[in-house]
Structure 1
Amino acid sequence: MTREHGGADAQGVPRWDFSTNANACGPCPRVAAALRDVDIRHYPDPGYRALRGALAAFHGVAPWRVVVAASASEFIMRITACLARAGARRAWIPASAYGEYAHAARIWGLARVDDPVQADLCWLCEPSSPLGTAEPQWDAVVRHDAVVVLDRAYEPLRLSGASALRGEDADRVWQLWSPNKALGMTGVRGAYAIAPADAAALADSLEQQAPSWSLGAHAVAMLQAWTQARTQQWLAQSRDTLRQWKALQQNLLNVWPCLPSDANFFCMQAELDADFLRLRGIKLREATSFGLPGMWRLSVQPPAAQAALRDALEAGGVSREPGRPKRAIPLGGTARSAKGAS
């Protein structure tokens, strides 16, 4: 089976990777140090009691509401399976969304419906991927009796705007957190969900259907460090840097239409030669698998990566019609003007 994801491929890890949405300021030094100190000789506590307590205190909820997961993708599959076994038959998924939502629905036989009111399971992601914006059907989704899961992978990387999640809605939806993106260490897998206040039975079912030791020692260390004040301070500082880099990157690419985004990534409409760019160590994420043909999703990267992208585009990274030479592209302000942004 082939899945569409950014990052490493048959050619290895790209030198200049615009295809994944990890925090380009990372990895977080404090969390990286915690990982180096992990005791790999022993199993973690299979109940993850200390970790649950730390995450519960961080979010201000009761510990039973914390459901740990091997990754966000694992939780997506597990909650879909759990609901399908309990009789769920229909899922609502945003038109442009992370492919694992639809993949899990297909595997477990949930029909995809156009109206969230008809669904047993609804997915939201805010800021969304690939667009980095709010879901336009937010109110219709969160205010009916389906199981609603809000994927908050990119909330810690929000660079503008504010979450639509307000007041009592925070206790009505499942909140899925995968901090490895915000910490700039997607190679460490580990996530958790905060259950709604009235979802004790479903939370227990999810725990019963989890494998033993779904989190290894490194994931436990990452999630514990995630809750610490110094980690959150580093994250806040990294957002300031990412805002600077985002402005530079969008100015560099201003010859093409860039869609609005509140996150550390954005979509751009362009005709690019992905193979040409990949041979030069640059990888972008083509957005057809998100339902956006002709669009490219680019994460915000440091000035050195932006300069490499600019040079590759000017060297011939733009698609052309057969038999016609590639045309020069007058790109915007250069990334070399970004002294001090890092």
Structure 2
Amino acid sequence: MSGVHGGPDALGVPRWDFSTNANAVGPCPMALSAVQRADPQHYPDPGYTALRHALAAFHGVAVERIVVAGSASEFIARITAAVARSGGQRVWLPALAYGDYAQAAKAWGLQRENQPAQADLLWLCEPASPLGKAEPMVNAVAEQGGVVVLDRAYEPLRLSGRCSLGAGALDRVWQLWTPNKALGLTGVRGAYAIAPLHGLTLARSLEQMAPSWPLGAHAVAMLRAWVQADAQRWLAQSREQLIGWKTAQIALLGELGWACLPSEANYFCARAPHALDVPSLRAQGIKLRDTGSLGLPGHWRLGVLPPAAQAALAAALQPKEETFP
């Protein structure tokens, strides 16, 4: 069974899509232009030589530590397979987590372990999904002996706070980066990971397990644009815009009786004051994300959207006056 995700569905692209965490200020003009100018007539370099050097320089790491991936989900599946193939049997997951971690573990027969010290593969995400906060056990988990992966999909969209792990700790874990969310280009699939200093053997194994050309020309163009100074400046400016929108969105929902949970990212979870008529909302072009599949039943995760979307949401959530004949 495929995982549960936000975004377009059988009805198409929602007009007001609160169900995804993409940067609502986007798409990033520089990255979009690069994607539009990409050459789809030719294969990319199968070794992604220039791209891997650019990513390594951006993060200040050795190029051997860069592993490209078709998407975050593809990397999740591949590294889970690698751990299982090497004899790993147990996985540790946060109490609330992206469903693909557990889905990949189930596919490869890894059993969920409650004690991080007993796990062969351990997952972290910060800012975490769905709450958008720090992982409570991030430092303790990062020190374990298994393969530890820190999913940093939302780090570029962090609106407050900072990463719980310092530079030394980050060098001991795998870092998974998915820039398409920050750039507002989630339809372009492309990601990469930074191997820990002690993880070069596994990095080579992951490269051997990859299909030919995991990244197409458009993904290469997006990732090359991601590391450029002008795109990073745009991203910094977009975060300032998102901070204002987030403040307004939380205030709006609070006035409507919603209980909003704290978050450091461009999304947050909230409990509605009553059951929602989801089909009616979807018919009005509004889509929210039920966080049941993320381990948090009874709540909704809402990406931060601009004022027009917030106004549409407020209008749809207003109690309807009864009419009598």
TM-score, normalised to structure 1, is 0.92
State how 1:1-342 maps to structure 2 within 5 Å. 1-254=1-254, 255-270=257-272, 271-314=275-318, 316=320
Q: Using the TM superposition, give the Cα deviation of residue 198 of structure 1 relative to its aligned residue in structure 2, in angstroms.
A: 1.3
Per-residue CA deviations over 1:276-313 (Å, capped at 9, x if unaligned) read: 10010000001111111110000000000000000111
Q: Distance in 1 between matches of 2:199 and 2:302?
A: 37
Tell me the C-alpha RMSD between the 2 structures. Answer: 1.0
Q: Using the TM superposition, give the Cα deviation of residue 44 of structure 1 relative to its aligned residue in structure 2, in angstroms.
A: 0.2
> Gaps spanning 5+ residues in structure 1: where?
317-324, 327-342
TM-score, normalised to structure 2, is 0.96
Q: Using the TM superposition, give the Cα deviation of residue 315 of structure 1 relative to its aligned residue in structure 2, in angstroms.
A: 5.1
For 2:8, the aligned partner's letter is: A
For 2:260, the aligned partner's letter is: C
Q: Distance in 1 between matches of 2:292 and 2:83?
A: 29
- Structure 1 window deviating more from structure 2 (306-315 vs 239-248): it is 306-315
Q: Distance in 1 between matches of 2:119 and 2:166?
A: 22
For 1:302, the aligned partner's letter is: P
Kept in 2: contact 1:117–1:140 (CA 8 A): no
Q: Distance in 1 between matches of 2:202 and 2:271?
A: 42
Kept in 2: contact 1:97–1:129 (CA 8 A): yes
Q: Distance in 1 between matches of 2:293 and 2:229?
A: 37
Q: Using the TM superposition, give the Cα deviation of residue 12 of structure 1 relative to its aligned residue in structure 2, in angstroms.
A: 0.5
Per-residue CA deviations over 1:190-233 (Å, capped at 9, x if unaligned) read: 00000001111100000000000000000000000000000000
User: Where has structure 1 moved over 4 Å in runs of 4 or more?
Assistant: none
Q: Using the TM superposition, give the Cα deviation of residue 156 of structure 1 relative to its aligned residue in structure 2, in angstroms.
A: 0.2
Q: For 2:260, what is the secondary structure of its paired residue?
A: coil
For 1:53, the aligned partner's letter is: H
- Structure 1 window deviating more from structure 2 (285-294 vs 299-308): it is 285-294
Kept in 1: contact 2:190–2:219 (CA 8 A): yes
